[in-house]
Amino acid sequence: MSRDARLLRLSRDHHHALTLALRLQRELPTAEPREAAALLRDVLRYWDEALTPHLAVEARALFPLLAAVEEGGLALAGRAQGAQRELQDLATEVRGASAATRTGILARFGAALATHVRWEEREILEWAQAHLDDAALDGVASAVAEALPSQAVPCPVPHLA
């Protein structure tokens, strides 16, 4: 199913978040300490600038609408909230991590982010399109427009040596 225009802004964020997750997957295994520190800075900046506002608007505007529809919406909303908490916990953990543990936490964060984004695209947004009425989708689009910049924040690009 093609993405409803009212959910496209969320999908665009998902694209950039997935790009960051894949970047972590590719770069972390061979990253020198300086490169790992740069990756950490990029992840935390992207978390603060893009992911935190995105997760907040989903939690405030989308998940309650899902939970109100009894045909599986409550379970989807609950799983999504749990995944958001996991990402928040990992972001908090990596902020305070030592250099020795940072790479492992970043890898877990990247894996959790990729899993969550793919699942939201395949399940949450598809389900929302199929089960939410026009007024609900209009409300989501309005909340997204108020809470997020008009253009998705792009994933930070790799640092060149």
Sketch the domain layout of the chain as residue ranges: 5-147
Any idea which fold 5-147 has?
A: Four Helix Bundle (Hemerythrin (Met), subunit A) (1.20.120)
pLDDT at 156: 85
Q: Please spell the DSSP secondary structure of 44-103, one letter per residue.
A: HHHIIIIIHHHHHHIIIIIHHHHHTSTTTHHHHHHHHHHHHHHHHHHHHHHHT--HHHHH
What pLDDT is recorded for position 72?
Answer: 87
pLDDT of residue 159: 59
Beta carbons of 159 and 23 less than 8 angstroms apart: no
| pTM (global) more than 0.85 | yes
Q: Write down the pLDDT at residue 158.
A: 72
Q: For tokens 């990992």, what's the residue? A: 90
* The dihedral sign for the CA sequence 113, 118, 123, 125: positive
